[in-house]
Structure 1
Amino acid sequence: MSDTNAVLVVFESALSRWRGMREAVRTRRIVSSLPEHIRKDIGWRDTAPDRMPSRANWWL
């Protein structure tokens, strides 16, 4: 594999993870805007800030 291909693979991987993180944030935002009784009915977990996963290492 050439150096250019290796760089592209790393970039594509990071981009894929970033997109996944953004999708998770979007989903969390949409579901969190639903009334509490609907979130409970669909089994959505507690969204307290201290229970949310950290985004500090999203690229790992």
Structure 2
Amino acid sequence: MRRVFNVGRRNAGRMAELLVDHGQAVITDLETGEILADQTLDATREYQYRKPANDVNDAPRQM
């Protein structure tokens, strides 16, 4: 199943790396190493919602 992650508008055009391990997804910027998203996958959804967090860049305000 395809998955869609929101990493924020500020990150548009940036090269990123996605690491998925045992249902945990971490997306990092390839140039700076900044964590853009760190979340648990929801197997029932294609679009992966995430809660806002202070330590994650530009987190959307869903949930």
Please confirm whether the aligned pair reaches a TM-score higher than 0.5, indicating the same fold.
no
- Which structure has greater strand proportion? 2
- Which structure has greater helix proportion? 1
Q: Please state which band the TM-score falls in when normalised by the shorter chain.
A: under 0.3
TM-score for both structures, normalised by structure 1: 0.21
Structure having greater relative contact order (Cα 8 Å, sep ≥ 6): 1
